[in-house]
Copies of this chain bind each other. A is one copy, B any other.
Amino acid sequence: MPDSYNRSGGSPPKAKMIIVEPTYEGDFVANGALELECGRRLICPTLHYAVYGRLNAARDNAVLVCHALSGSALVGAWWPEIFAPGAVLSLERDFVICINMLGSCYGSTGPSSVNPETGAAYGPEFPLIDVRDNVRAQAQLLDSLGVRHLRLVLGASLGGMQALEWTILYPARMSRALVIGVSPLSAMGLALNHLQRQAIVHDPEWAQGRYLPQRPPRRGLSLARQIGMISYKSTPLFEERFGRKPDRSGEDPWAVNGNGEGLIGGRFDIAGYLDHQGQKFIERFDANAYLALLRTMDTWDPRRGYNSPEEAYSRIRAKLSFIGISTDWLFPAADVRRFAEAVRQAGAQAEYREMVSDHGHDAFLAEQVELVQLLQ
């Protein structure tokens, strides 16, 4: 098995790796029940969170970073370049908070958590969690930290959904918001999530969501991740990195090795890459958590429950910046631009900028230095 540097497609390693460690990492347990948008409730849910830097005396230096589908509270680990000197955040200046989403598997209450009402893991009975439910729970956590006001709330992808929802639900609680690579999921995005969901629930190991931790639906989750990967990357990036090359492990798509080669055969390099990404993912993520977060992403619509989009967006008081990514086909740049325009037409302050990158949706992680440059 080639190492993951090679599998990442040959990018040179960064000359200097920034290490950003949290000041504190721990759990917040909400007091009482969180009433959910779906009508159900979570009893005393836990939010796992990390903070970086310290809240100043004026309490005006807090920043909330919201993570994407497979992220965690450790923003310093997955988005280190935004802490680089002169970049978006400063460990000296800012008090940065990042909170694991409800439904995830990185410490906050999710499908594998014990339901206090039954004493057993939620499993498939874990309720539908809306982005708004996350934002309301996060607000309670910020209250507990003494943070009433955010200098900035930001996020990309599912994280951008949370950042935008913050500006609508709690318009007085932040000065600025940064929303990257996101708009309400389009029909193509809903289609991609539908495919990923099927990949998991068709795996017999999924067992209607009641699989044992030691026997998860590995093949289903791997395929789901691989379907996700093609939507996070771009056609030009894949072409440049993999083209039609045979798999780097030595498999030959044209080889005659015996039985099965006519139907399956040796892999091309892109297939080896996708398999590797799937394998890495099943070692770190839970299938039911993935299903829960797909639903959170699917159902997010900031206009839902308002009489009009204008009614929702006119609540916003923050200065908003939207970033579209030129080769993003999961959240096309044109959709992000239209989203920014709709927010602006409702009277909010919203600018739109476009990140030119071959990396597709993933550019916010894969090209952090370039993202930081655009934000300056």
Contacts and interface: CB of A to CB of B under 8 A. Distances in A.
A346 interface: no
A29 B332 CA distance: 50
B262 A295 contact: yes
B202 A264 contact: no
Contact of A270 (B37, B126, B190, B269): B190
Nearest to A103: B262
A288 interface: yes
B124 A253 contact: no
A194 B274 contact: yes
B263 A124 contact: yes
Oligomeric state, in number of copies?
2
Contacts of A267: 194
A41 to B, nearest CB: 11
Interface string A305-348: 00000000000000000000000010010000000000000000
Contacts of A223: 195, 198-199, 202
A227 interface: yes
B186 A254 contact: no
A212 interface: no
A214 interface: no
10 contacts: A127-B256, A128-B265, A186-B238, A187-B238, A195-B230, A198-B219, A199-B223, A202-B202, A204-B204, A254-B299
